[in-house]
Chains A and B, each alone.
Chain A
């Protein structure tokens, strides 16, 4: 049995505050931590107590020789504990987890739509593909509720074009990321080869229903509530249409990336 070890203790090196609710948490890459690809995630034990109980999944935003970087939005107790970890603190981290990942686009042109912290896998993809010379044009469409919540300040250089939307119109396009993408498509601003999306379920579903078909392909990195993170508990399943059948796939181990058009949204209750 020579599976790659996937349980580590990682030390927090520093934080970078991005918005009132979001920050980058930078860890010292633990010795032996395996290589990872865009769409992979780690699961972090945020507390030694039983509240919160489960480890919390976070997408890898970057993995360099020395660092593991996560983008953390505070939405509850677990994410608050992680965001509040002090430099020097050691946390138990499982990963990298995930099966399918974002693959570089065949013709070198990619459009990412990232809602909120869905930005993490988009940045990881951009950095990985830029480094490997695998893309020539990579657009980011990023939406937030207000100007203060826009996250792209730290990663603008990773994309060839950044298109921003705010719900209240305080910066960029006034509206959501899906409406902005529709406009960009209609105006002929973005290449229609490959669409990659990550973010809330509702956003990805709206993309599929409203603009996905304009692109040659559309791949989505999904989120679901998870317990094991390794495909054992079957707690994170998503119905996916394959060869005329709707199968339950585990987001953690069969995903996180799925052909967005194959997801059986009407059967995927929250």
Chain B
């Protein structure tokens, strides 16, 4: 078997295959070591870290929907310092390829986060989570404004020097293609799409919203068609690689993303209920190769 057959390249970085775990569901990575053969994957995108530790949201954080999951975890994380000191090194030791997910938060913290990241020896690829609420923007995500996306991506490229920068986009916008284009113009090496879709739920017993923050992020099979459309839309706008994520829950789903033009895929929610899925997708790719993108009419 040719080990390199399914290797892919994003920017200057080579990944052994195009099957990644998505940021968040996989935590810092090794939590899943008993359930998933992590070193066999192309990469594990670790939970988004911010410069300072974050407590995340109070109240209920999870609610299952029909074929989906609403979450309101709220970027709880240990903060970048502890992440680089404690969480990242064991991944390298275990032979796992990490992609470091960084919170595109308020400008000064973001700059400090990038500077700290630039001081790390091994980090050759980061994913910017552009869906983080931004206080300077009244809680709106950076990722809804093309100008901000450009500024945030450019600063990352400037400070991180050689590292590949992936811009992870939110689908909660008018035209995700425009935001992808903005990221590409600013020098992004790849686009990751999509983050969760805005949703909410109401408890009919109490008559109150289920979540403290009312709105939450929808993921899982329910959003797969939304993600697929986003990948197709982005593909038409940009030349850089697109990483498809959203609801992938079978090898056939993965195939659709490659057909739509994705260079790689990420699996999130599915690892909660089917930790065997990444392995199944890898086997399918090993058997049949990575499907070539089809030409999609506009």
Residues of A within 8 A of B (CB): 1, 3-7, 45, 50-55, 92, 94, 225-228, 230-237, 248, 253, 267, 269-270
Contact = CB atoms under 8 A, between A and B. Distances in A.
Contacts of B220: 50, 53
B84 to A, nearest CB: 19
Nearest to B272: A227
B221 A53 contact: yes
Nearest to A78: B64
Contact of B249 (A4, A50, A233, A269): A50
A45 B35 contact: no
Contacts of B271: 228
Query: In terms of DSSP, what is the predominant structure of the interface of chain A?
Result: loop
B272 A233 contact: yes
16 contacts: A1-B30, A1-B95, A53-B67, A53-B269, A55-B272, A92-B274, A225-B63, A226-B62, A227-B269, A227-B272, A230-B34, A233-B73, A234-B27, A235-B62, A248-B56, A269-B60
A54 B66 CA distance: 11
A1 to B, nearest CB: 4
Interface string B57-70: 01111111011110
B281 to A, nearest CB: 16
Nearest to B224: A50
B92 to A, nearest CB: 11
Interface residues of B, number: 45
Nearest to A1: B94
B67 A51 contact: yes
Interface in B49-92: 55-56, 58-64, 66-69, 71, 73, 76
Nearest to B27: A232
B221 A50 contact: yes
Contact of B273 (A1, A5, A54, A248): A54
A52 B30 CA distance: 26
A52 B222 CA distance: 12
Nearest to B212: A269
B110 interface: no
Contacts, number: 110
B121 interface: no
B162 interface: no
A234 B61 contact: yes
The 9 closest A-B pairs by CB, nearest first: A232-B27, A6-B34, A3-B33, A232-B31, A1-B94, A50-B67, A235-B62, A269-B59, A3-B34
A3 B93 CA distance: 13
Nearest to B247: A50
B38 interface: yes
A267 B59 CA distance: 8
Contact of B28 (A94, A227, A232, A269): A232
A7 B14 CA distance: 30
Contact of A228 (B56, B59, B63, B272): B272
B61 A52 contact: no
B97 to A, nearest CB: 13
B133 interface: no
A1 B40 CA distance: 12
Contacts of B58: 267, 269
A54 B76 contact: no
A225 B62 contact: yes
A236 B96 CA distance: 26
A53 B34 contact: no
A235 B34 contact: no
A220 to B, nearest CB: 19
Contact of A231 (B27, B249, B272): B27
Interface in B245-298: 249, 269, 271-276
A55 to B, nearest CB: 5
B25 A228 contact: yes
A3 to B, nearest CB: 4
A235 B56 CA distance: 10
A92 B94 CA distance: 26
A260 B3 CA distance: 52
Nearest to A94: B35
Contacts of B33: 1, 3
Contacts of A232: 25-28, 31-32, 47
A5 to B, nearest CB: 6
Given A3-B33, A6-B35, A53-B67, A234 B76 contact: yes
